[in-house]
Amino acid sequence: MRLVYIILCIIAIWSSNCALSQDIINKQIINDYTTFELIQNEDTLSFIVADTNLREEKPILLFCQGSKPVPLIIKMNDGDTFVWGGGLSNFDYKEISSKFHIVVISSPHTPLIAEQTHLNNEFGYVTDTNYVHSFRKDYILNDRLPVYIDRANKVLQFVYNQSWSKKEPLIVAGHSQGAVIALELANTRNDVKGLGLLSLDPLGRMTYEIVGLRNQVATGKISSSEWEKRLEQVYDFVKQYNDTSNWERNPSLHPWKSFSKMLVDDLIKVTCPIYIAYGGKDDKAASCDLLPIYFENNNKKDYIVKLYPDLEHNFFPVNKSNYENNESKWPEVMDEFYKWITSKNEL
């Protein structure tokens, strides 16, 4: 009987280790990044670390990219290798990486590296470049908040088993849809010590549609009757994606349900310091104006809400004609965020 007990214990320990272990099927250095690909059921879990020297122990900054299946690395038509890095290419991350190992995880069922010829005009990975939204079905089915949280937790589990990672402080940040993922991680993990939310829509995805229609009628681009008609169409769409019986017929409705919830209560629940930055010309983030009121009404104090009045969703300036300029303000935005991180953590 004792022998049986010992064997069962060994099997249990082995099973536990298997559940915790993840096999690297590919690791390489590309430009200034180290890439990893891990076995993950039917998908490959890919991520990058913005460093090539993984001998130095540093804390982790997890940066959650926005929507769309954009590969982290793109082989351009001219032969160059462009590391999009989930948005890291928008700013100089070197100062941040001197203190943190910056980790960015791929979108589900999206290759780590892809040829530009397989991408649409927004660099999303598609099955038919003539159709901008021909995303892979397995991506659409997994473009849901719980999937992103599961992937992030598995990557962090792997990273924290490496000699080059410090357990604290864990900083989580995200842009747009990535901000929703970052917020959920902060509320479901107890080790997040700082949260950065960039271009967050606190009232859910549909705010953009509602605010956009109001702006159009205010500027005379549509009539009042057209406004009323389109508003009803928005409400009908909300009913569609909330009806789970529609998901099998139209899987793309599920992500709308997943990322359209109102987030004010989730923001109030966060226990770590929060840094929120958004553009004043970004309809998607318009309700960020209200967050200080919500926070103060709920006695929430450890937060920064930073408005960039003349910037749009991706932190580009907008002139009086509402045309985007080419001068990105991402470096300025991230510089302020980094100063805040270091002021909150002894690094």
**Cβ contacts of 9 within 8 Å, gap of 6 or more:** none
In terms of Cβ atoms closer than 10 Å to its own Cβ (0-12, 13-18, 19+), residue 32 is middle
Q: Distance (Å, rounded) from C-alpha 85 to C-alpha 104?
A: 7
> Is residue 168 in some structural domain?
yes
> Is residue 232 in some structural domain?
no
Q: Which of 205, 155, 151 is nearest to 176 (CA)?
A: 205
**For 169-187, how does the pLDDT look when each residue is reduced to its tens digit (9 = 90+)?**
999 999 999 999 999 999 9
> Residue 108 carries which DSSP code?
T
Q: What pLDDT does 256 receive?
A: 93
- How many residues does the structure list for the chain? 347
Q: Distance (Å, rounded) from C-alpha 119 to C-alpha 174?
A: 23
Residue 341 CA: distances (Å) to CA of 89, 186, 303: 20, 15, 12
- The total domain count for the chain is 1
Predicted TM-score (pTM) of this structure: 0.90
> Is residue 219 in some structural domain?
no
> Is residue 233 in some structural domain?
no
Note if the bond before 169 is cis, omega within 30 degrees: yes
**For 184-233, how does the pLDDT look when each residue is reduced to its tens digit (9 = 90+)?**
999 999 999 999 999 999 999 888 899 899 999 999 999 999 999 999 99
> Residue 90 carries which DSSP code?
G
**For 240-291, how does the pLDDT look when each residue is reduced to its tens digit (9 = 90+)?**
999 999 998 999 898 999 999 999 999 999 999 999 999 999 999 999 999 9
> Is residue 221 in some structural domain?
no
Q: What is the CA radius of gyration of the chain?
A: 22
Q: What is the CATH number for 88?
A: 3.40.50.1820
Q: Distance (Å, rounded) from C-alpha 246 to C-alpha 254?
A: 9
Three-class SS state of 226:
helix
Token readout for 261 is 């919830």
Q: Which of 274, 282, 271, 242 is nearest to 258 (CA)?
A: 242
Read off the pLDDT of each residue in 113-120 and give the average, rounded to a whole number.
93
Q: Distance (Å, rounded) from C-alpha 69 to C-alpha 305?
A: 29
Which domain does 174 fall in, by range? 2-208+244-344
